[in-house]
Amino acid sequence: MYQEKPLIQTNHKPVIGISANHCDETSRIADAYYTAIRKAGGVPLLIPVIGESDYLKEICDKVDGIVMSGGGDIDPSYINAPTIPEAGTPDPERDAYDVALIKEAQARQLPILGICRGMQILNIVFGGDIYQDINKEYGPALMHSQETPKWEASHRVDIKAKSRLAQITNTLTAEVNSLHHQAVKNIANEFVASAFSPDGICEAIEHPYYPMIGVQWHPEQLMRADDTISKALFNWLIEEANYHRRAKELHQQIVTLDSHTDTPMVWTPDTNLGERCDEAQVDFVKMAEGQLDAVFTVAYIPQEPLNEQTRQKAFDNAKEILTRLQKQVDSNSDKAAICKTVDEIYAAKTLGKRIVVPAVENGFAIGKDLGKIQQLYDLGMRYLTLCHNGDNDICDSANRTNHTHHGLSAFGHDVVKELNNKGIVIDLSHAGEETFWQVVACSATPVVCTHSSSRALCNHPRNLSDEQLKALADKGGVCQICLYSGFLVEDGEATIADAIAHLNHMVAVAGIEHVGFGSDFDGGGSIIGCRAANEEFALTVALMKEGYSNHDIALLRGGNFLRVMNKIQQTTI
C-alpha cells in the first residue's frame, strides 16, 4: 500500500522567460528586461527565436512566468487585414515564435506580462486586433511618438478603477513612456481594457481570471529610475510566478485527479487521446500541460424509457465505450495507463503516465440484472453513478423524476449490496434526495458525489444541501465540486472564483477531508479560468492564494477521493 511522504517545498527564485527580439540572425534583448526581473526577485532567461514547437514546450515546462517583450511591427495577416502602406516591415519568424510562445505559456497557465508589442500580440492571440498605424487608422497621436529617453516619462495614462492594474499599482493615474505606432484596437474576448491615454488609445489590457497583463509602455526602462508603478508590475509577475513554481513543485509530489469526465461523449472516429484533440477538453496532452495525473472517465448512458430493448442497448453501449477507452489507452501505453486500484494509480504516477480510471454514469446500464455489474467491473468500471436525469430501475433521480420508487427500489437495495461486495464506489451525483438518504443509510461503505456542488450557494436539485454534506462526511465519503456553471451560479457564466467559493463553504460544512473536484469536462463542465484539463492547474494556484496549506491542497486535489476509494476497495463485506 502506498505510504504518504512528507511534502517538500523549496524557496527557489522563479525563472522568468523573456521573448527575444530577432535581428541579423541574432536573438537579443535589452539589458533593462534582465535588470527589472532581477530587481523584482526573479531569474531572467532569454528564450531565443526558434520555430521548433517542441523546444518552446520544453522551455514553458521549465519556466515559471513569461515577459513578452517589445519590438517591431506585427504582420497584419494575423488579424486577417490587408497591409496598409504605413505598416512597418514584419518579421515572420518573430511573429510565429511569439504566437507559439504565448499559446504554449497559456496552455500551462504561466503568468504573462506583455510589454508594448508584447501586449499587442497577446491581444491578437486571444482574438483581438490592432491598429496597423495609429495616425492613419485612429487619428493624430503625437504622444505615442515621443522622442524623450525610454527611461523618462512622457505622458499620462488613466487606470480604470477596480481593475487588477489599479490594485497592483495602487493608483488611477501613471506617468509613462510610450513609443509606438501600432496599438490595440478591438480587445480580445474576456480581456478587459485597464488603462487609456488621454487621446483614447488603449494602454493596458488584462484578463480577470488568468494571470495575464499587457501594457503599452516600457516599465522595464522606467525601473531604471526606480519608478514605483513599474516595480509594482514586475513584483506582480514575480508573485504570480512564485505561485506557479510552488504549485508545480507540489504537483510533482502528489496525485492530482478529476473524479468525473465525459470525454467519450465527444469522440470522433479519428480521436486519439495521445494527441491534442480540438474536440475534447481532456486528452493526455492537456493533462500533461496541467500536470493533472488522473481522470475518472465515464461511459455515459442517457436515460431512456424502461423496457428490455432499451436496457440491453444501454448495457451494450456501456461495454462498447469501456472497450474503446481501453483501446485508446493501450494505443498510447507510453503516455498513459488504465488503473483500477489506488496502488496502481500511485505506481503509474511514478512512471510519469497519465492515468485513466473507467467508470459508468447511470445504473440504467445494468438494467435489472445484478450479473451485469460483474461484467462491467471486468471491463474496468470502478464507480457506478446510480442514475442520471430520470428514474431508472435502481432509484429516483434529482432531475426529471416521477418519484417512481420514492428513493431506492427493492432492486436498488440489492444493487447497493452488490456494489459494496465488489468494492465498487457508489456515486450519488444525480440521485434524488430520497435516494441519497436511503443509500447513505444502507451502504456498508462510504459513498461519494463525483460532480456536485453546494445547494446553499446555488439552489439546484443536483447540488447537496448542508445536511447532505454533513451526512456524506459522517459516512466517510467525499463530494467533488462540479465545474458546470449551472451548478455554481444561478445566472450567467461561473468563474474559478465561484468554484473556490463553493469549496470554502463545503470545507466549512463537511471538513477538509471530504471535498474535491470533478469537472464534468466534455459533459458540459467549463468555467472562466478553468475550461479544460490543462487549466485545472489553476485550481491549485487558486487554493494557494486562498491560504490552504500544501497538505490541505494534496487532500483537495485528489488525496480525499483516493482515500475513500481505497477504503471501499479494501472493505470486505
Task: Quickly state the pLDDT bin for 560 (edges 50, 70, 90).
Answer: very high
Q: Where are the beta strands (DSSP E) in 369-415?
A: 383-385
Does pLDDT of 498 surpass 60?
A: yes
Does pLDDT of 64 surpass 80?
A: yes
Strand, coil or helix: 227: coil
DSSP 8-state class, residue 556: I
Compute the distance between CA of residue 438 and CA of residue 332 in angstroms, rounded to an integer. 41
Task: Quickly state the pLDDT bin for 573 (edges 50, 70, 90).
Answer: very low
Predicted confidence at residue 572, as pLDDT, reads: 55
CA torsion sign for 338, 340, 342, 343 is negative
Nearest to 525 by CA among 486, 560, 475: 486
pTM: 0.95
Q: Report percent pLDDT > 70 for the chain.
A: 98
Predicted confidence at residue 151, as pLDDT, reads: 84
Q: What cell was used for 8?
A: 517538500
Question: How many C-beta atoms surround the C-beta of residue 309 within 10 A?
Answer: 9
Beta strands 155-159; 192-196: pairing state: antiparallel
Average pLDDT of the segment spanning 347-375:
98
Q: Is 278 exposed, middle or buried (0-12, 13-18, 19+ CB in 10 A)?
A: exposed
* Most confident among 2-6, 21-25, 551-555 (mean pLDDT): 551-555
Compute the distance between CA of residue 392 and CA of residue 384 in angstroms, rounded to an integer. 13
User: Any residues with CB less than 8 A from the CB of 242 and at least 6 apart, and which?
Assistant: 14, 64
Q: Report percent pLDDT > 90 for the chain.
A: 87
Task: Quickly state the pLDDT bin for 51 (edges 50, 70, 90).
Answer: confident
Phi, psi of 176 (to 5 degrees): -130, 175
Task: Quickly state the pLDDT bin for 376 (edges 50, 70, 90).
Answer: very high
Predicted confidence at residue 225, as pLDDT, reads: 80
Compute the distance between CA of residue 323 and CA of residue 195 in angstroms, rounded to an integer. 54
Compute the distance between CA of residue 428 and CA of residue 542 in angstroms, rounded to an integer. 27
Task: Quickly state the pLDDT bin for 3 (edges 50, 70, 90).
Answer: low
